[in-house]
Amino acid sequence: PEITAIRDKSKPDHVCGGNNNKPKLRKGLWSPDEDEKLIRYMLTNGQGCWSDIARNAGLLRCGKSCRLRWINYLRPDLKRGSFSPQEEDLIFHLHSILGNRWSQIATRLPGRTDNE
């Protein structure tokens, strides 16, 4: 017999969690309020255990979600937008040495992530 999953329609799609008494963690898009809480916490307390950061910042997010949000979108030294001519030259040079290892190339571009 085929077994199919049945979704509990009384729970919103953006909330997940098991059958225990832990608070349900949010998934999906981050709200401006959540961004502000994470920014405020990180600027005041710095980095540490991401699971602790999520809890101590008052966020109902998992540590991994907080880490990715901070690293890829919120950290103050993050550069967004077009690459400068100097960055482009460095990318071409690094590509000639490293090939298509874009994560390694990104680590040598200050303020850039491997998502760009």
DSSP letter, residue 104: H
- 92 and 65 housed in the same domain: no
Question: With contact defined as beta carbons under 8 Å apart, do 38 and 57 qualify?
Answer: yes
Q: Is residue 2 part of a domain?
A: no
Bigger pLDDT: 2 vs 7:
2
Q: Which pLDDT belongs to residue 73?
A: 93
pLDDT of residue 21: 67
With respect to residue 4, please indicate whether it lies within any of the assigned structural domains. no
- Does the pTM surpass 0.85? The reply is no
Instruction: Give the Cα-Cα-Cα angle 65, 106, 108 (nearest 5 degrees).
Output: 125
Looking at the 3D structure of the chain, how many domains does it have? 2
| Token couple for 54 | 């999520």
Q: Report CA-CA distances (Å) from 72 to 22, 34, 114.
A: 28, 15, 9
| Residue 50: both structure tokens together | 């991401």
- pLDDT at 20 exceeding the cut of 80: no
89 and 65 in a common domain: no
Q: Is residue 1 part of a domain?
A: no
Is the CB of residue 15 less than 8 Å from the CB of residue 27? yes
DSSP labels for 8-44?
-TTS-TTEE--SSSSPPEE-SSPPHHHHHHHHHHHHH
Residue 27 bridge partners (DSSP): none
Most confident segment among 9-13, 14-18, 32-36, 45-49: 32-36
pLDDT at 4 over 60: no
For residues 70 and 91, state if they share a domain: no
Nearest to 14 by CA among 31, 22, 26: 26
Q: Is 14 part of a structural domain of the chain?
A: no
Percent of the chain with pLDDT over 90: 64
pLDDT digits (tens, 9 = 90+) for 59-108: 999 999 999 999 999 999 998 889 999 999 999 999 999 999 988 998 89
In the prediction, which pLDDT does 111 show? 87
**What was the pLDDT predicted at 5?**
47
Domain that residue 86 falls in: 81-109
- Domain harbouring 70, CATH code: 1.10.10
